[in-house]
Amino acid sequence: MKTLVVEDNRINLKVVCHHLERLGIVPIPAENGTRATELFAAERPDMVLLDVMLPDIDGFEVARRIRQAETPGEWTPILFLTSMTDDAALEKGIAAGGDDYLYKPVSEVVLGAKIRAMQRIIQMRNSLLVLTKKLDNANRELRRLSSLDWLTEIPNRRHFEETLEREWRRSMRQGSEFSVLVCDIDRFKAYNDAFGHPAGDQSLRSVAQALMDAMVRGGDFVARYGGEEFAAILADTPLAGAQVVGERMRTAVEALAIPHPASESGHITASFGIASGIAMPEADPLKLVKLADKALYEAKRQGRNRICAIASMDAMEN
């Protein structure tokens, strides 16, 4: 343990440093406030013993500078060394960032007791910081898990709707166009009936990963919307660009080549609906999803394993 000792009287400085060495503590001596702030920055001591009266700047100002030099979450105990006992001086020291006082001449017994008390506080504080960090990590993990679909491990519907609302507001601010894509695995009930739910779950995971892999831009977002349905938000993407992404996703699902005898192509495919527009204050972003869903049903009606799109602005106003 290192302790910065700031004392302009060399005899007092030597005595306090000797007491500290007997307690197994490494002293870092400084005879003025300027040197003390330099040593604090260089050595980062575990504790500071600080004389109030110094030849250049007083101990109160040194304490303030030490507190300003500490990083967020850092705390170094500061004990003032003083002969003053009036209440105003004590209050001033605490206000400057001090934690306690030692009266001169410094008693080795009292010094040891004060240091042990501060060490206990440091240990308790460090334990609290460790616990706080663990709780923060646990809360972050809980938030992460609450936003993921348990089966496919991609974002869930709740996360999708939160992201949609956020992108909607951003689009209103920037006037940029964005698109929503809805995708449904073709004849999935028949697949489950033929192969069982474990195989169905595995196919959902495979399709989810294929859709994720097809998203090449960092800002694009895909989620499991429910059952065998997925949805994507394509920020800053007009209808033509969304169709390109949709085709890439459709091809990725088809390329999985998962056998599906009840499908028209003999393997698992997916149909896609796309809607695009610019956010307006009077419109509801979920209407964009409903329009994409409407386009999806049209893709199903036309024979599945295809993309249908709606230029949504006029439709959203109706």
Do 119 and 163 reside in the same domain of the chain?
no
Q: What are phi and psi of 191, to 5 degrees?
A: -65, -45
pTM (whole model) above 0.85:
no
Q: How many folded domains does the chain comprise?
A: 2
Q: Which tens digits make up the pLDDT trace of 268-298?
A: 999 999 999 887 777 788 889 999 999 999 9
Do 68 and 176 reside in the same domain of the chain?
no
Task: Report the distance separating Cα 9 and Cα 12, nearest Å.
Answer: 5
Q: Which domain holds residue 241?
A: 157-317
User: Is 146 part of a structural domain of the chain?
Assistant: no
Helix (H) or strand (E) holding 271: strand 270-278
Q: Are 209 and 258 in contact (CB under 8 A)?
A: no
User: Is 269 part of a structural domain of the chain?
Assistant: yes
Closest CA to 310 of 169, 181, 161, 175: 181
Q: What is the mean pLDDT of residues 132-137?
A: 87
Mean pLDDT of the chain: 90
User: Is 149 part of a structural domain of the chain?
Assistant: no
pLDDT of 195 reads 94
Q: Are 268 and 191 in contact (CB under 8 A)?
A: yes
pLDDT of 304 reads 96
Task: Report the distance separating Cα 50 and Cα 8, nearest Å.
Answer: 10
Q: Which residues pair with 81 in a beta bridge?
A: 51, 102
Q: Which tens digits make up the pLDDT trace of 148-159?
A: 999 999 999 999
Give the list of residues 6+ apart from residue 167 with CB closer than 8 angstroms, or none.
178, 233, 235, 285
Do 100 and 169 reside in the same domain of the chain?
no
pLDDT of 313 reads 52
Q: What is the mean pLDDT of residues 180-204?
A: 95
User: Is 37 part of a structural domain of the chain?
Assistant: yes
Domain containing 103 — which CATH number? 3.40.50.2300
pLDDT of 168 reads 87
CB-count burial class (<10 Å; 0-12, 13-18, 19+) for 257: exposed
Do 121 and 180 reside in the same domain of the chain?
no
Do 178 and 299 reside in the same domain of the chain?
yes
Do 265 and 161 reside in the same domain of the chain?
yes
Q: Are 295 and 309 in contact (CB under 8 A)?
A: yes
pLDDT exceeds 70 at position 314: no
User: Is 144 part of a structural domain of the chain?
Assistant: no
pLDDT of 315 reads 45
Domain containing 181 — which CATH number? 3.30.70.270
Q: Worst-scoring range by mean pLDDT, 32-36, 94-98, 129-133, 314-318?
A: 314-318
Q: Which tens digits make up the pLDDT trace of 20-53?
A: 999 999 999 999 999 999 999 999 999 999 999 9
Handedness of CA 185, 186, 189, 194 (dihedral sign): negative
Do 212 and 251 reside in the same domain of the chain?
yes
User: Alpha carbon of 140 to those of 62, 133, 144, 147, 151: distances in Å?
Assistant: 39, 10, 6, 11, 20
Give the three-class secondary structure for 228: coil
Do 243 and 207 reside in the same domain of the chain?
yes
Across the beta sheet with 26-30, what order do the strands follow?
Answer: 26-30, 2-6, 47-51, 78-82, 100-103
User: Is 234 part of a structural domain of the chain?
Assistant: yes
pLDDT of 87 reads 77
Q: Are 273 and 298 in contact (CB under 8 A)?
A: yes
Crossing angle for the helix pair 188-195 and 197-213, nearest 10 degrees?
A: 130
Q: What is the mean pLDDT of residues 103-130?
A: 87
User: Is 150 part of a structural domain of the chain?
Assistant: no
Positions marked catalytic? 228
Q: Which residues pair with 48 in a beta bridge?
A: 4, 78
Do 165 and 313 reside in the same domain of the chain?
yes
Q: What is the mean pLDDT of residues 118-144?
A: 85
Q: Which of 92, 112, 130 lies at the terminal end of a domain, its last residue? A: 130
Residue 11's pLDDT band (cuts 50, 70, 90): very high
User: Is 113 part of a structural domain of the chain?
Assistant: yes
Do 57 and 170 reside in the same domain of the chain?
no
Do 110 and 173 reside in the same domain of the chain?
no
Do 31 and 125 reside in the same domain of the chain?
yes
pLDDT of 300 reads 95
